[in-house]
Structure 1
């Protein structure tokens, strides 16, 4: 997992809780000597350990924590990839174009970067399916990002996000619909 994600996770924990909570998470995950760098790719196990510890500490299921973190990521992602985005895009357009814009850029930056594959099927102007494919099994993050995009584009009250398969799998189908 890219170091930038860990740095954003640290900021998320510090803003939602406090710095001591982040230190406790790192300690409980056995990562207290590690300082994340935005240019380094770290083992996926680190994110599993941190989120697992956060779930134990808060009593919030890991999938729900992934969703909350995904929502939090959106403003930073939009800023980081703004040159790849079109001003007329809204939530569904962003989802439809993520693979060939942002994910393409992420993969080209570093050979070890492996964002999920998003196979998007646009059903009509107000509806699409996302087939999230990743060995990481973190589709909750994708669901959170979709919700975060809806908030970013001021469509949160009109966008429905439903996982239509188990959120635990390597391939998860997500149904997104604008009402």
Structure 2
């Protein structure tokens, strides 16, 4: 797991749910004393253990925790990798290049690292289909991350459909459109 995700998960828990959640999670996961650096790669099992422990500590379901984290993590990641984002990009353009960008970032850190399979297809009428495939089973981050991207690019987003697949594969269909965000769409 990319260190930027694990270290961001700690920051998310600290700011959104309280520092006690992280302390409890890292201890329960058997990782007390471990420090996560954004520039490193860590075993997927450690993130899964932290996620499971955080789920128990805060009482949120795993998918809800991942969705909230997915939305929260976009702004810090966009700031971190700002140089890799074309200036004329919108949310759909960013999503269409997501897999390539994700792989490029990972390969800078570890040539052997494998990014999850994220296939994005523009369907017309502002519709975007995202297919996530990974044994990491973190697809529940996708709706939150797309919501966070829409906010970043000052666009509106609506999740129209989601369908679980087999072996960690999930498909989502979103409608993205330019425009001012309303408090109802953001919240």
Structure 1 length-normalised TM: 0.88
How far off is 1:26 after superposition? Answer: 0.7
Please list the CA deviations of residues 10-62 of structure 1 after superposition, one character each: whole Å capped at 9, or x if unmatched.
11111113323211111111111312223332111111111111221222110
Question: For the structure 1 residues 58 and 21, does the alpha-carbon distance in structure 2 shift closer, same or farther, using more than 3 Å as the test?
Answer: closer
Aligned equivalents of 1:27, 1:101: Cα separation in 2:
34
Deviates more, 1:133-142 or 1:113-122: 113-122
Kindly state the Cα deviation for residue 163 of structure 1 after the two structures are TM-superposed: 4.7
- RMSD across aligned positions (CA): 2.0
Name the SS for the 1:101 alignment partner: helix
Partner of 2:20: 20
1:33 paired residue number? 33
Alignment match, 1:172: 170
- Normalising by the residue count of structure 2, what TM-score does the alignment of the two structures yield? 0.85
Distance apart, 1:164 and its partner CA: 2.6
Matches of 1:40 and 1:112, distance apart in 2: 13
Q: For structure 1, which segment, 34-43 or 67-76, has the greater mean C-alpha deviation from structure 2 after superposition?
A: 34-43
**Residue 73 of structure 1: CA displacement?**
0.9
1:42 maps to which residue? Answer: 42
1:162 Cα deviation after fit: 4.2
Sort the Cα spacing of 1:38 and 1:101 in 2 relative to 1 into closer, same or farther, 3 A: closer
Q: Structure 1 unaligned runs (5+)?
A: none
What secondary structure sits across from 1:164 in the alignment?
Answer: strand
Q: Output the CA distance in 1 between the equivalents of 2:53 and 2:161.
A: 25
DSSP 3-state at the match of 1:165: strand
Counting only pairs closer than 5 Å after superposition, residues 128-167 of structure 1 correspond to structure 2 as 128-155=128-155, 158-166=156-164
> 1:162–1:31: structure 2 CA closer, same or farther, 3 Å change rule?
farther
CA distance change for structure 1 residues 108 and 36 in 2, over 3 Å: closer, same or farther?
closer
1:105 positional shift: 2.8
For the 8 Å contact 1:127–1:176, the answer to whether it is kept is: yes
Report if aligned partners of 2:136, 2:168 keep a CA contact under 8 Å in 1.
yes
The number of residue pairs the alignment matches comes to 177
